[in-house]
Amino acid sequence: MKLVKDAQVLAEQFSAYTRWRGDVASGIGELRKWLHQNEIGDAQSDLRLQYLLDRLREDKLIVAFVAEFSRGKSELINAVFFAGYGNRILPSSAGRTTMCPTELQWKEGDKPEIRLLPIESRKTNASITELKRYPEEWQVRPLDTSSAESLQQALAQVGETRRASVGEAEELGFPIDESGDRGIRPDADGKIEIPLWRHAVIQFPHPLLEQGLVILDTPGLNAIGAEPELTLNLLPNAHAVLFILAADTGVTQSDLAVWREHVNAGRRQRGRIVALNKIDGLWDGLRSEEDIEREIAGQVASVAATLEIEPGQVYPVSAQKGLVAKVNDDPELLARSRILQLERALSTELLPTKREIVRDNTHGDVHDIVDRSRELLNARLSGLREQLQELTDLRGKNQNVIEYMMRKVRSEKDEFEQGLQKYYAVRSVFSNLSNNLFGHLGLDALRDETRRTREAMLDAAFSRGLREAMKGFFQHLRGNLKKSTDEIGEISRMLDAMYKRFTVEHGLKLAAPTAFSTLRYEKEIERLEEAFNSQFNTVLTIVTTEKHTLTQKFFETVAVQARRTFEVANRDAEQWLRAVMAPLETQVREYQLQLKRRLESVKRIHQATDTLEDRVRELQQAEDLLVRQVGQLNALSVRIERALEMPSDSSPAPSALAA
């Protein structure tokens, strides 16, 4: 029983994270429904909440397994995730078994199948992300999940290869090196063994995959270097990277190259775990347990020193023995394999980091929407109480006093409508500045610059020409982001002045507009530039055909990533512009309604004094309703805050409105 319980630690951690995410989504869904029912939210708030719900529902946890060939990577994936099938599922044998990047995933509505992208797709400039939109570009093979044997046969397809000429291999972007150190070495016939597939997506109904886990299985250094999207997109976006070494080889030069160029690129501080696999090679029956422990500790220290990390980040394991122990329900062997310590580390590294990202992103939007809704309710309550006080003061007063009150309200209405002219003028300027902002962030200008850079690279015969073309590309992107920052500053200053004017002159409850920064997009462009410079810092003076091809393919991937960055910037800027105008628009609309209601009330009382008490009672009932609504909004806010901060248990959270 203990073995079963221990082996479920990772699954339970993922289930807890899924429940936590569900609790947060439930709270946000209830808030959205409540705002709609009480006619408090606006279209922009509703869109933002729907976006949050979609993001929570589609949330993925990506774990990348990275290693050179023959380090036991596929066996480790089998031991951690697929031991329940009673056999190894991913192909695991001596030599190369993972020849192309492979994603294992599952979501509701998927069919069990393997989707394979032919290697020939590299002859186009299309990225893997783009090609995922076109199912006809992929070969689809069904998966029979009823037996381990049929799964093994189907999944073995990701390791299929074919022989190609050196010219074709270069055209496909594979680095060729006679020594085999920095590229693929031709065989005795001058042929190159290349993967049959460029990328594989395996849709597999596994409990952890169903909860949003995505496993990224990567090939060795040579294959990684030939697929720029791994370097620029897939690996950097992984929430955790598990780097596998072999205890019998330690850190080889190729291992170190993978670590420095891909796993530790940018010196990422979290989400890196090192597995020192195949420690069962030390169990030779000739050494004592103390000697084995001493040797393992020495290897861990050596690996940590070479990779410049803490020894606590290195986990010695035996993937093969861990798999055998789980299949045979052998607690003693499982403990000796140390696989459970690695699983705990994986959940400890991955889940808190991921939850922190989700929590921070969600908290800001929810907090802003709740604050705006609270300000609206308080403005309604303040206006209603003012109106109630006015009507209460009219008790026992003569017609002259009532007529004076009516003139006073009309005067306030006229004064406010004069202020609206300035508001409409600001709206016009705001619209012009917004158009300028989208002009700098626009995708048309980015497309033109991409085309210009591509043409310049095609004309370049020397490495300097390639670098100058790319340097100009990045300078253009940074320049557009700098101009965007200037426009954002102008918009912020203008809105701040208008917020203050309406707060002082008309008593509207308006906090300062939220800030918006382009820093995250600037950082992403910097990362892309650093990746490009790092990838090609060894290009010779004369650019060979192979290097020119690889450079162009790398640029196409950079261009796709840059476009994605600007698409996100456009979306975020549009949401910000709507968000900063929405409070002012809502408060102006609300204030107009209050003035209209006040004037109508005084008119009615002027025409028939016997309606005064009826109107006072109506306002008192409306006041009670608003007070309840403020309390309900606060309860919803507290529920979401608690869900964001606290781990979920298996019991559902009570409704915030139950009381």
Tokens at residue 657, please? 């409105």
What pLDDT, on the 0 to 100 scale, is given for residue 316? 95
Whether the pLDDT of residue 638 is over 50: the answer is yes
DSSP label at 71? Answer: S
Q: Is the overall model pTM greater than 0.95, yes or no?
A: no
What pLDDT, on the 0 to 100 scale, is given for residue 60? 83
244-277 burial code (b ≥16 CB/10 A, e <16): bbbbeeebeebbebbbebbbbbeeeeebbbbbbb
- In angstroms, rounded to a whole number, what is the distance separating the alpha carbons of residues 69 and 220? 6
Q: Smallest Cα–Cα separation from 334: which of 89, 79, 84?
A: 79
Domain coordinates of the chain in residue numbers?
Answer: 61-160+196-337, 418-582
Tokens at residue 413, please? 């209405």
Q: Share the mean pLDDT of the chain.
A: 80
DSSP label at 260? Answer: I
Tokens at residue 87, please? 């056999």
**pLDDT, tens digit, for every residue of 578-603?**
877 777 777 777 777 777 777 776 66
CATH of 61-160+196-337, one of 1.10.443.10, 3.40.50.300, 1.10.3720.10, 3.40.50.1820: 3.40.50.300
Q: Smallest Cα–Cα separation from 389: which of 624, 630, 629, 615?
A: 615
Q: Smallest Cα–Cα separation from 457: which of 125, 207, 2?
A: 125
What pLDDT, on the 0 to 100 scale, is given for residue 318? 94
CA 316 to chain centre: 31
- In angstroms, rounded to a whole number, what is the distance separating the alpha carbons of residues 254 and 246? 12
Provide the Cα torsion 199, 205, 210, 214; round to 10°: -20
- In angstroms, rounded to a whole number, what is the distance separating the alpha carbons of residues 204 and 120? 26
Q: How confident is the model at residue 650 (pLDDT cuts 50, 70, 90)?
A: very low
What pLDDT, on the 0 to 100 scale, is given for residue 97? 52
**pLDDT, tens digit, for every residue of 207-225?**
788 888 888 888 766 555 5
Higher-pLDDT residue of 277, 381: 277
Whether the pLDDT of residue 2 is over 80: the answer is no
What pLDDT, on the 0 to 100 scale, is given for residue 548? 64
What angle do helix axes 9-37 and 339-393 make, rounded to 10 degrees? 20
What pLDDT, on the 0 to 100 scale, is given for residue 338? 93
CB 616 within 8 Å of CB 392: yes
What pLDDT, on the 0 to 100 scale, is given for residue 388? 80
Burial environment of residue 395 by CB neighbours within 10 A (0 to 12, 13 to 18, 19 or more): exposed
Which amino acid is located at 653 in the chain?
A
Whether the pLDDT of residue 510 is over 70: the answer is no
The structure tokens 């990567």 sit at 218
- In angstroms, rounded to a whole number, what is the distance separating the alpha carbons of residues 64 and 66? 6
30-37 average pLDDT score: 91
**pLDDT, tens digit, for every residue of 41-66?**
777 788 888 888 988 887 888 888 88
What pLDDT, on the 0 to 100 scale, is given for residue 221? 60
What pLDDT, on the 0 to 100 scale, is given for residue 1? 41
- In angstroms, rounded to a whole number, what is the distance separating the alpha carbons of residues 540 and 537? 9
Q: Smallest Cα–Cα separation from 46: which of 30, 26, 32?
A: 32
Of the chain, the percentage scoring pLDDT greater than 90 comes to 13
7-19 average pLDDT score: 74
